[in-house]
């Protein structure tokens, strides 16, 4: 039996919902019930009626789904699917930083561990970071973590001076530099350029970027654009969906090397085994989950 069929059979047997991030392998995206960005997938996890959620993404996404759905079984097919950005701050480092800024609001990007979320006042994703920070009292100091490029973009978009940034970054996006953009622009003079706010080139002040968008923002852009050619500055997994959305347009990666090894850990065989053998079940200790839930509820509501 072809593996896709076997996965569909197991999915039905287990009553599992398969959620996949926009950066997953094309064949994984194609078999998923829902494909999207972190915010969309968190909302889909909350709406799910199935008792089992299989997360084809990275660990912090599966942990988030578990915190939002404590009664469900959440499966991550490969435990090597971590996130270098999430690993750039520990809970101890956050506690020390908070002690240096008493009274500051802590806004954590969803790309963080559950215990860092538990020490946070708000979570956000790239889709709603500007909205979450913009909604805080103007006089309140903000500690934004862990991505400094996303944080700098939020600082510019909100015009806030009292926002402190953690010096973390995503190695996949940080290596996309303004020089790469300038070179690509010279090679494709008519192309539009869209970039994820985690990019090292992602400052809104740079004249080389037409739009800064979350991954779901990029999907909506693909649906609507009339530009014949677009350079896409993010992880290349997203091109699969963009091209399907709009086969008449050309979507090119800013760099073929923008590949997240963590997002590519999961393949169809991992998914099959995950459903067949109930592995790997993601658990979050109850005390951490209940404190992290407050910050995540605010993210989902924003
Ligand atoms: P999105 O929330 O835009 O999908 O981004 C998640 C991520 O890991 C980006 O590197
Ligand atoms: Fe983490 Fe970067 Fe991979 Fe996103 S692309 S999962 S931020 S390492």
Per residue in 20-66, pLDDT tens? 999 999 999 999 999 999 889 989 999 999 999 999 999 999 999 99
Determine the distance separating the centroid of ligand 1 and the alpha carbon of 215, expressed in angstroms: 6
Q: For the whole model, what pTM was predicted?
A: 0.95
pLDDT at residue 168 tops 80 = yes
Name which residue leads in pLDDT, 102 or 205.
102
Please report which confidence band the pLDDT of residue 178 belongs to, taking 50, 70 and 90 as the band edges: confident
Query: How many whole angstroms from 1 Cα to the centroid of ligand 1?
Result: 34
- The pLDDT > 90 percentage for the chain reads 89
**pLDDT band, residue 207 (cuts 50/70/90):** low
Our answer on whether the CB atom of 215 is closer than 6 Å to any ligand 1 atom is yes
pLDDT at residue number 4: 97
User: Which residues lie closer than 8 Å to 67 by C-beta, 6 or more apart?
Assistant: 114, 117, 284, 289, 292, 293, 296
For residue 261, how many C-alpha atoms fall within 13 Å in the half-sphere facing its CB?
3
Would you call 264 exposed, middle or buried from its count of C-beta atoms within 10 A (0-12, 13-18, 19+)?
Answer: middle
Percent of the chain with pLDDT over 70: 97
Ligand 1 atom 6: residue of nearest CA: 38
Mean local confidence (pLDDT), 93-115: 97
| Separation of CA 2 and ligand 1 centre (Å) | 31
Of the chain, the end-to-end C-alpha distance in Å amounts to 44
| Ligand 1: nearest atom to the Cα of 214 | 3
pLDDT at 279 > cutoff 60: yes
Q: What's the chain's average pLDDT? A: 95
Q: Which residues pair with 250 in a beta bridge?
A: 229
Asked whether the predicted pLDDT for residue 204 surpasses 70, the reply is no
Mean pLDDT of 244-250: 96
Q: Which atom of ligand 2 is nearest to the CA of 83?
A: 1
Q: What is the pLDDT of residue 205?
A: 47
Q: Which atom of ligand 1 is nearest to the CA of 196?
A: 3
The C-alpha angle with vertex 236 and arms to 235 and 241, in degrees rounded to 5, equals: 110
Alpha-carbon distances, residue 90 vs 84, 124, 129, 146, 248 (angstroms) = 12, 18, 21, 10, 45
Domains and CATH numbers, the chain: 3-82+263-283 (3.40.50.10800), 86-169 (3.40.50.10800), 172-253 (3.40.50.10800)
């Amino acid at each position: 039996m072809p593996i896709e069929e076997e996965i569909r059979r197991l999915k039905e047997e287990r009553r599992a919902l398969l959620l996949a991030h926009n950066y997953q392998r094309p064949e994984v995206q194609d078999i998923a019930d829902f494909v999207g960005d972190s915010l969309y997938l968190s909302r889909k996890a909350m709406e799910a009626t199935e008792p089992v959620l299989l997360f084809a993404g990275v660990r912090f996404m599966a942990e988030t789904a578990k915190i939002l759905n404590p009664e469900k079984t959440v499966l991550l097919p490969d435990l090597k699917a971590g996130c270098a950005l999430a690993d750039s701050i520990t809970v101890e480092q956050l506690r020390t930083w908070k002690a240096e800024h008493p009274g500051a609001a802590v806004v954590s990007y969803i790309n963080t561990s559950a215990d860092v979320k538990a020490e946070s006042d708000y979570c956000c994703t790239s889709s709603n970071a500007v909205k979450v920070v913009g909604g805080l009292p103007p006089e309140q100091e903000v500690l934004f973590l862990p991505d400094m490029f996303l944080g700098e973009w939020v600082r510019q978009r909100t015009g806030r001076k009292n926002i402190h940034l953690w010096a973390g970054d995503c190695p996949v996006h940080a290596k996309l530099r303004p020089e790469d953009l300038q070179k690509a622009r010279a090679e494709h003079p008519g192309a539009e350029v869209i970039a994820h706010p985690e990019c090292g080139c992602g400052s809104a002040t740079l004249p080389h970027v037409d739009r800064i968008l979350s991954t779901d923002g990029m999907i909506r852009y693909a649906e609507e654009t009339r530009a014949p050619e677009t350079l896409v500055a993010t992880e290349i997994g997203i091109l699969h969906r963009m091209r399907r959305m709009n086969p008449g347009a050309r979507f090119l990666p800013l760099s073929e090397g923008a590949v997240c090894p963590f997002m590519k850990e999961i393949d169809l065989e991992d998914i099959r085994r995950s459903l067949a053998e109930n592995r790997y079940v993601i658990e979050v200790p109850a005390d951490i989950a209940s404190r992290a839930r407050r910050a995540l509820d605010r993210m989902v509501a924003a």
